[in-house]
Amino acid sequence: MAARGVMLVTIGMAIVIGVLEYHRVLDPPRAERDGFAMNLLVDRGNATVPNDWYAAGAAHIDSTGRALRIVAEADGWVLESRIVHLLADDCYRVQVSGNVTRGAAVFAAFDAELTRFGAYTPLPATSGRASFLVSTPDERVTFAVVATNGAHITLAGIQIRRLPRRCTTPRTGRDIVRVLDHILGA
């Protein structure tokens, strides 16, 4: 009888703690709370790290270990990230190292379902860095590389850092195809 009472108290405490902590389910893990670097693994991880990226359209993607080389075979998405969890309404600087040697490409932030466009930065024509600020009310963002047909893109690193101030990223519910056409100058 006493063992049954202890078990019921333990289960009850677990339920209460779960209810009280549920709001933190979408919070980023400790390693991602203040910032992190995304890896350059696409469609498969290695023995110790899962990939942060997925091929997302017609593109040829090669990894040199230090960079991704992407050749877009159609207009649109060529690469998309895993869903990244951020603290709601906090401001993050997204810094992208890389370049585009042919065509045009942007590094963009979307909601987790890739339906609402957030912020973006064009990738430079020479090796360098580009950045933008992002904030999300729903704690989840997906990054994507969007390019014109024939674009040659090199990505050498993506850093996401939480800033000590607030910012807002306007989101649009407009047709995503028109948004991408506008970004890529089509």
Domain ranges of the chain: 29-183
pLDDT digit string (tens) for 50-99?
889 999 888 999 988 789 999 999 988 899 999 998 888 888 999 999 99
Q: What is the pLDDT of residue 138?
A: 75
Q: Which CATH architecture has domain 29-183?
A: Sandwich (2.60)
Q: pTM value?
A: 0.77
In this prediction, residue 45 carries a pLDDT of 74
Q: CA 83, CA 113: separation in Å to the nearest integer?
A: 9
Report the alpha-carbon distance of residue 89 to residue 170 in Å, rounded. 12
pLDDT at 117: 78
Share of the chain above pLDDT 70, in %: 74
Determine the Cα–Cα distance for residues 164 and 162; give it in Å rounded to an integer: 7
Spell out the residues 6+ positions from residue 92 whose beta carbon is closer than 8 angstroms to its own. 35, 86, 133, 134, 135, 160, 161, 162, 163
Supply φ then ψ for residue 72, to 5 degrees. Answer: -75, 130
Q: Check if the beta carbon of residue 96 is closer than 8 Å to that of residue 153.
A: no
pLDDT lower than 70: segments of the chain = 1, 5-6, 8-9, 12-33, 170-186
